[in-house]
Structure 1
């Protein structure tokens, strides 16, 4: 069940991060103002929604996906909160600066570390759902 759950959550993530993320959200989600927080939280809500839809569809059509509503709600809240936190951009920048990756960050590496952090959050959510 873990693999099915992870694929469903990853699909929801990809949809929310790429075709469903607006230019405004991408440009402003890390801004330190009300506009930035609104863009960030709207983007995180898109993640929660797409992952919820993916999980619901998976539960309907896949034999190996059985969900507990309280655990699913908790996992979706985790996905939204972790995504909003990571997308403030400073956590990734701080990680890269403290681990000797500042040069890589200047050459596009931050996007890879950002996506890796999101995938880790999805794996944790899928593990909780499968437990």
Structure 2
């Protein structure tokens, strides 16, 4: 079950982060104040919906035994961690600690961001598999 859940959650991530993310969300999700949080949480909600749909596909089409409680908890954590990572300061902190400022300035920060999201998805797929 882990491989199919992981792939489906990764597809949901890509959909929510690229074609389903508006320019406004991308440009303002790390801003200070209510407008930044609104853009951030709207974007994170897109992830929750996309990941929920991915788990529904796993359960209905692939006949995977996805437990409701593990699925709900995993999707909630995916949404929360996505919002946290996308505030950008966690990625900036990692880049600073790892001494990767030049690489990050040349586009590497986006790779750190996506790697963090994929690690969360792997943990979620593993937890759902173990608990379902």
TM-score range, shorter chain: over 0.9
Correspondence list, 1:85-96, <5 A: 85-96=84-95
Q: Show the counterpart of 2:22.
A: 22
For 2:22 and 2:56, locate their aligned partners in 1 and report how far apart those are by CA, in whole Å.
24
Give 1:103 deviation, angstroms: 1.0
Q: Structure 1 regions of 5+ residues with no counterpart? A: none
Gap regions ≥5 residues in structure 2: none
Structure 1 segments of 4+ aligned residues over 2 angstroms from their partners? none
Aligned to 1:129: 128
**What is the deviation of 1:61?**
1.1
Per the alignment, residue 39 of structure 1 pairs with 39
Length-normalised TM-score, structure 1: 0.97
Offset at residue 18 of structure 1 (A)? 0.5
Cα RMSD after superposing both structures: 0.6
TM-score (norm: length of structure 2): 0.96
The Cα of 1:66 is off from its aligned counterpart by: 0.8
Q: CA deviation at 1:127?
A: 0.5
Partner of 2:79: 80
Name the SS for the 2:19 alignment partner: coil
> Which whole-Å deviations, capped at 9, do the CAs of 1:42-73 have from their partners, x for residues lacking one?
0000000001011101211113x111111101
Match in the other structure for 2:117: 118
